[in-house]
Structure 1
Amino acid sequence: MSDQSTSSPSTPDIDTLEKGQEIGSREITFSRADLIAYAAASGDHNPIHWNERFAREVGLDGVIAHGMLTMGSAVDLVSSWAGDPGAVLDYQARFTKPVPVPDAEQGGPDTPTATLRISGKIGAVDAEAGTARVDLSVELLPQEPETEDAKPQKVLAKSQAVVKLA
């Protein structure tokens, strides 16, 4: 899994936060090797995450990324911005589409074949409680962006994290 980030380098100050303020963005790629590594770390060895034939037999278009891998990758933007993963008090999201991770046409299994674009902005600030809600946008980028009908697809909806900052 690789990550290209643009986010603020210092711990945010709740007194300077405003609704709509961007916290940063990043693109994260997944390969089939990433899915195997995540399965080993998480204990989720469901074959829809590594076996093309099985995934198709159960009605999917192919292998898909683990939902918790997708969610965890998204909230990492927030914990990096906050400067402390423990600052995230609550995190919720709805899955809207699976994240397909096709087999690489060339190269090894560590060749990335899926890219997520994650961006975050302040959705609400509660200065009294010392918390901020960060609203995340999580989109799957098209594999072939040069095609006319290729558009990013939202894979998580209502993706929100509450962060304690003061």
Structure 2
Amino acid sequence: MTTLTIPLTREKLVRYAGASGDFNPIHYSDHFARKLGQESVIGHGMLTMGLAMRLVTDFAAPEKVRSCRFRFKRPVPVPDDAEGAALHLELEASDPDDMGVITCSLTARVGDDVVGSGKAEVVA
């Protein structure tokens, strides 16, 4: 199993919003997030998935990635402090099948909560 922990801070959310064009206020305004029932600002789901895919592209070259799918299970609350939220990512790879395809299982956690999971297929 391969693991990676990435701190998700408000600064990272702002940078991702600028890069992606996703300026939904739930990602930067505690006031707006609370109005929608969240305890605080939440991270972008696609940012969580993209960071999880970093494990896959570290495992195999990007051009070897055949497919990926990811399911968002819970929002990622990002506190307004220097540490933010610790996003713990895990990758477990299968042995290559008869076609030379390796299945990578991905899990994203914040604390004990699974916030997302997915699978990616890479060519050996």
Give the 5 Å matches for 1:69-84. Answer: 69-82=47-60, 84=61
Matched, 1:94 2:71: yes
Give the 5 Å matches for 1:10-29. Answer: 22=1, 24-29=2-7
Task: Tell me which structure has the larger Cα radius of gyration.
Answer: 1
Partner of 2:9: 31
Give the secondary structure class of the aligned counterpart of 1:70.
Answer: helix
Root-mean-square deviation (Å): 1.2
Structure 1 consecutive aligned stretches of length 4 or more whose deviation exceeds 4 Å:
none
- Which one has the bigger helix percentage? 2
Matches of 1:30 and 1:112, distance apart in 2: 8
The number of equivalent residue pairs is 124
Matches of 2:59 and 2:100, distance apart in 1: 16
Q: Structure 1, unaligned stretches of length 5 or more?
A: 1-21, 105-110, 142-151
Give the secondary structure class of the aligned counterpart of 2:96.
Answer: strand
Matched, 1:161 2:124: no
Cα deviation code 1:57-101 (max 9, x no counterpart): 11211100000000000110111111x122211111211111000
Give the secondary structure class of the aligned counterpart of 1:97.
Answer: coil
Identity, % of aligned positions: 39
Matches of 1:28 and 1:49, distance apart in 2: 17
2:85 maps to amino acid = A
TM-score (norm 2): 0.93
Q: Contact conserved, 1:124 with 1:134, CA < 8 A, in 2? A: no
Shift in alpha-carbon separation, 1:95–1:124, aligned structure 2, 3 A: farther
Give the secondary structure class of the aligned counterpart of 2:79.
Answer: coil
Matched, 1:138 2:98: no
Matches of 1:55 and 1:94, distance apart in 2: 21
Matches of 2:94 and 2:85, distance apart in 1: 28
TM-score (norm 1): 0.71
Deviation at 1:46, TM superposition (A): 0.4
From 19, 22, 42, the counterpart of 1:41: 19
1:69 maps to amino acid = L
Partner of 1:129: 99
Deviation at 1:131, TM superposition (A): 1.1
Give the secondary structure class of the aligned counterpart of 1:125.
Answer: coil
